[in-house]
Chain A
Amino acid sequence: MVITSQKKHEEILKYLSSSKKIFIVGCGACATVCKTGGEEEVWQMEEFLSKNNKEITGDVVIDEVCHLLLTRRAFREHKEEIEKADTVLVMACGTGIQAVVASTSKKVYPVLDTLFIGVTKHIYEFQEWCNTCGECLLSETNGICPIARCPKHMLNGPCGGVVDGKCEIDPELDCPWILIYKRNKESLKKIHLPRDNSKRARPGILSLRGVR
């Protein structure tokens, strides 16, 4: 899931300073689970903006804003409300925001900051366990990713900053190499040579056309 958090309201008001009529887009997928851009948050945002003298021309919560076809369809269905607006405000991840940009010529502004791909550890508590490096290493590290879970992406064991299995930059954070070691210490012995970063050239493009 893509983990997001809401920007400060003052920041949103700042870039909306010249906007008067606003259409709001929420996301039924990740942003709903993160409680950052679902039905309820869209409603709260409308209330907040109304109090700050903005007119809301309409809203829609799209199943997956990042799905360009779904977003374009929703924009056709809400054409009139969007026409009346001067600005579209998007409560979805960065991919969702740009899917909206690709669906309208109106000004588009974000409400959320996109943080990472994460697991839900507890309700409303998320952690980054994969950073989409493009070359999965989990078969060699007992299923624990040192690239995503170590701030230094150490590939050959813990750095000198580890204390009692915890990370130097955040004592709440488990050092992945200590976790890997505890599962099976043999996994620590292999020398991992420098990674091939060309395998994950950015921006990423994947086409399955012709495959399916």
Chain B
Amino acid sequence: MNKLKQALENQKFVFTTEIYPPKGTDTTKFLRMAQIVKRSVTAVNVTDNQRALVKLSSIAGCLLLRKQGIEPVYQITTRDRNRIAIQSELMGAYALGIRNILAITGDHTLLGDCPEAKPVYDLDSVQLLYLISKLNSGFDINEHPLQGKTDFFYGAVVNPEASDLEPELIKFEKKIKCGAQFFQTQIIWDIDKFKKFMKYASKFNVKILAGIIIISSSKVINLMNKKVPGIKIPDSIIRRIEKSSDPVKEGVKIASEQIKELQGVCDGAHIITVGKEDLTPQVIEMSR
């Protein structure tokens, strides 16, 4: 059974979120955060060395979530593994009970905390989706038959607010052609723009979860604007957070307002918290 797939097919509005594995082996906080979000969301993404920072592996994080009864979305990038390693890892993930994949290329090694590493990028995100479609049909990437195929529910990322939108949308369509079944978008700010995107995206048989960030401080704003490629938090939001006497409360309010506006527009929301997972249930509660 795949809870995420079922929910996206049957429910009006589905919530996912993401949590970050620790740098190190102490998973106490990771599991605490997982417990906090457990009842509010359908599935939880586990990031794959996000921003090219060295972290506990995504596959181990997914397994830890499964042990807690939480359905994971295994994020896998092409930055650190060639196609042999990726296929091997995906077969392993499936055998361990992981069913959802988010396929991404991944932020460049030069932006992380181990810039000396050799970047791999044997595949890009579109090709990774193609590879997963092969495994799902019972073959490896070179058409060799598998002993037991995978049956992943797999998705990708799209940025409806990309500065170069048309190339982004052409790539979005390629991802769909390579089998992407759902999309979690980059952070959404401009709801009108997003509605336009949804009008276009509804032509395709894919589920779209809008990326919503909970901003809890100006520190988060700085981090996102400076360190995360392709992210730009608008000035109007920055002003609201900076002027507020309770930035956390304001951040929660902004996120829940956005989600309210998205109900009926897309298939759900993917909540990004930048380490403040404990705010997620509140945001979801307030948006109902």
Contact = CB atoms under 8 A, between A and B. Distances in A.
A110 interface: no
Contacts of A175: 164
A161 interface: yes
Given A152-B108, A160-B186, A194-B83, A185 B127 contact: no
A146 to B, nearest CB: 9
Given A151-B110, A153-B124, A154-B105, A194 B167 contact: no
Contact of B162 (A156, A162, A189, A194): A162
Contacts, number: 102
B104 to A, nearest CB: 8
A193 B104 CA distance: 16
Contacts of A161: 107-108, 229-230
Contact of A157 (B107, B111, B130, B171): B171
Nearest to A156: B126
Interface string A145-171: 000000111111111111111001100
A75 interface: no
B174 A157 contact: yes
B23 interface: no
Contact of B122 (A162, A163, A197): A197
Contacts of A192: 126-127
Given A162-B230, A191-B126, A153 B164 contact: no
Given A156-B174, A185-B170, A191-B130, A151 B164 contact: no
Given A191-B174, A193-B127, A181 B164 contact: yes
Interface string B75-108: 0000100010000000000000000000011011
A178 interface: yes
B178 interface: yes
Chain B interface size band reads 35 or more
A193 B130 contact: yes
A195 B68 CA distance: 40
B285 interface: no
Q: In this complex, which of A153, A159, A160, A163 has the most chain B Cβ atoms within 10 angstroms of its Cβ?
A: A160
Contact of B127 (A151, A163, A177, A194): A194
Given A168-B111, A191-B126, A157 B232 contact: no
Contacts of B178: 191
Interface string B124-166: 1111001100000000010000000000000001010011101
Given A168-B230, A185-B166, A189-B170, A159 B124 contact: yes
Interface in B103-123: 104-105, 107-108, 110-111, 119, 121-123
B48 to A, nearest CB: 14
Contacts of B111: 168-169
B163 A156 contact: no
Interface string B248-283: 000000000000000000000000000000000000
Given A152-B121, A169-B108, A191-B174, A164 B229 contact: no
Contacts of A156: 124-127, 171, 174
A160 B229 contact: yes
B177 interface: yes
A177 B162 CA distance: 14
A61 interface: no
Contacts of A158: 164, 167-168, 171
A193 B164 CA distance: 23
A191 B129 CA distance: 11
Nearest to A170: B110
A188 interface: yes
Interface in A30-87: none
A159 B105 contact: yes
A157 to B, nearest CB: 4
Interface string A173-212: 0010110010001001101111001000000000000000
A151 B111 CA distance: 12
A198 B243 CA distance: 58
Q: In this complex, which of A155, A169, A178, A192 has the most chain B Cβ atoms within 10 angstroms of its Cβ?
A: A169
Contacts of B230: 160-163, 168
A41 B115 CA distance: 32
Interface of A: 151-165, 168-169, 175, 177-178, 181, 185, 188-189, 191-194, 197
Interface of B: 79, 83, 104-105, 107-108, 110-111, 119, 121-127, 130-131, 141, 157, 159, 162-164, 166-168, 170-171, 173-174, 177-178, 186, 229-230, 232
